[in-house]
Amino acid sequence: MAEMQEVTFTDLLQRPTETVEKLKSSRRRALRVHRRGTEDDLVLTTASRSAQDDQLVEVATRLLRAIMSDPVVRSSHLLDLLPQVFPWLRFLPAGDRIEFVRELIAVWDASHDVDSPAPVLQLITEWRNTAQVYADPELLKVLRSEVIEDAGPVSAPDATS
């Protein structure tokens, strides 16, 4: 994927015509608008490009739903294909891979209803973290071991962190 060009928020405000020309000439038809003093930059794109992106996501979602709704296709192909999308799946036990797919289907549908990708991304992050534990035999052993004794009191978190 082509790297997104950047402009500053000041550029957008003080040189809007030049900024729009830069947007039109960019390969991705999008610019990252860097805002000083804030963590959240903006992405400026054309309405037509945004609509195309939305259509593409909708097509991909429909395709994935169709695959997931067909038990034969899902059972015989989806589990073979997902490691190409999520290579870390290889570290999960077979039963957990199936559980990931079930949860992915359910959360994807629910996320569509609330019009937010955040729950799907959270689910993927949680399962990737689980795979990281399985990938590290020492960590897995520690986490599977029983806690033998209390480690003592825990200090209050530092409010400046």
Question: At which residue do the structure tokens 């999960």 appear?
Answer: 92
Q: Which residues contact 83 (CB under 8 A, 6 or more apart)?
A: 89, 90
Q: Is residue 158 part of a domain?
A: no
- Rounded (10°) CA dihedral 55, 107, 124, 103: -130
Question: At which residue do the structure tokens 């003592």 appear?
Answer: 152
- Length of the chain, please? 161
Alpha-carbon distance values, 112 to 79, 98, 118 (Å): 22, 21, 10
State residue 78's pLDDT score: 76
Same domain, 78 and 126: yes
Domain that holds residue 138: 71-144
Q: Is residue 115 part of a domain?
A: yes
The pair of structure tokens assigned to 38 is 């804030």
pTM of the model: 0.66
Distance, in Å, from the CA atom of 50 to the CA atom of 85, rounded to the nearest integer, reads: 24
Predicted confidence (pLDDT) at residue 69 exceeds the cutoff of 80: no
Q: Is residue 54 part of a domain?
A: no
pLDDT > 90 fraction of the chain, expressed in percent and rounded = 39
Q: Is residue 11 part of a domain?
A: yes
- Per residue in 5-39, pLDDT (tens digit) is 899 999 999 999 999 999 988 888 899 999 888 77
Same domain, 127 and 86: yes
Please state the rounded mean pLDDT for residues 117-142.
Answer: 94
The pair of structure tokens assigned to 67 is 């695959």
- Helix or strand or coil: residue 5? strand
Same domain, 29 and 84: no
Q: Is residue 122 part of a domain?
A: yes
Q: Is residue 35 part of a domain?
A: yes
Q: Is residue 138 part of a domain?
A: yes
Same domain, 89 and 135: yes
Distance, in Å, from the CA atom of 21 to the CA atom of 40, rounded to the nearest integer, reads: 23
Q: Is residue 59 part of a domain?
A: no
The number of domains in the chain is 2
Please report, for the domain that includes residue 37, its CATH number: 3.40.1620
Same domain, 84 and 135: yes
